[in-house]
Amino acid sequence: MKQQLLQQLEEISQEEKVYLKDHASVQKEIYTKTDFFEIDSKKFIKENRLITVRTHTRFVDFPVHKHNYIEIMYVCQGSITHCIEGKEIVMNQGDILLLNQQVAHGVKKAGHKDIGINFIALPEFFDIPRIMLKEHNIIADFLLNIFQVKHQEPHYLLFRLNDKIWIENLMENMIYSIKNEKTQEDNPNEDVINQYYMGIIFLYLVNHMDTLQQNSSKSYKDIAVEATLKYIDSWYRTANLRKVAGDFNLSESSLSKVIKQYTGRTFQEHLLEKRFQQAQSLLRKTDISIDEISVSVGYENFSFFYRKFKQLYGVTPREYRIQQNGK
Domain segments of the chain: what residues? 3-211, 219-327
Q: What integer best gives the mean pLDDT of the chain?
A: 89
Judged on CB neighbours under 10 Å (0-12, 13-18, 19+), 7 is exposed
What integer pLDDT is reported at residue 188 of this predicted model?
A: 56
What integer pLDDT is reported at residue 217 of this predicted model?
A: 87
- Overall average pLDDT of the 106-117 stretch: 96
Tell me the per-residue pLDDT of 17-36, one tens digit each, with 9 for 90 and over. Answer: 999 998 889 999 999 987 78
Q: Is the pLDDT of residue 293 over 60?
A: yes
Q: Is the pLDDT of residue 155 over 70?
A: yes
Q: Which CATH superfamily groups domain 219-327?
A: Homeodomain-like (1.10.10.60)
Q: Is the pLDDT of residue 269 over 90?
A: yes
- Overall average pLDDT of the 123-131 stretch: 87
| Confidence at 249, pLDDT banded by 50, 70, 90 | confident
| Confidence at 184, pLDDT banded by 50, 70, 90 | very low
The secondary structure of the chain, three-state, reads CCHHHHHHHHCCCHHHHHHHHHCCCCCHHHCCCCCCCEECHHHCCCCCCCEEEEECCCCCCEEEEEECCEEEEEEEECEEEEEECCEEEEEECCCEEEECCCCCEEECCCCCCCEEEEEEECHHHHHHHHHHHCCCCHHHHHHHHCCCCCCCCCCEEEECCCCCHHHHHHHHHHHHHHHCCCCCCCCCCHHHHHHHHHHHHHHHHHHCHHHECCCCCCCHHHHHHHHHHHHHHHHCCCCCHHHHHHHCCCCHHHHHHHHHHHHCCCHHHHHHHHHHHHHHHHHHHCCCCHHHHHHHCCCCCHHHHHHHHHHHHCCCHHHHHHHHHCC
- Overall average pLDDT of the 295-304 stretch: 96
CATH architecture of 3-211: Sandwich (2.60)
What integer pLDDT is reported at residue 141 of this predicted model?
A: 73
Are 140 and 133 contacting, i.e. CB atoms less than 8 angstroms apart? Answer: yes
- Overall average pLDDT of the 44-63 stretch: 93
User: Measured between alpha carbons, how far is 117 from 238 in angstroms, rounded to an integer?
Assistant: 42
Tell me the per-residue pLDDT of 129-140, one tens digit each, with 9 for 90 and over. Answer: 888 876 656 777
- Overall average pLDDT of the 61-85 stretch: 94
What integer pLDDT is reported at residue 281 of this predicted model?
A: 95
Question: What residues are paired with 55 via a beta bridge?
Answer: 117
| Confidence at 146, pLDDT banded by 50, 70, 90 | confident
| Confidence at 186, pLDDT banded by 50, 70, 90 | low
| More confident site: 298 or 208 | 298
Same fold, 3-211 and 219-327: no
Candidates 245, 228, 225, 232; CA nearest to 297 is 232
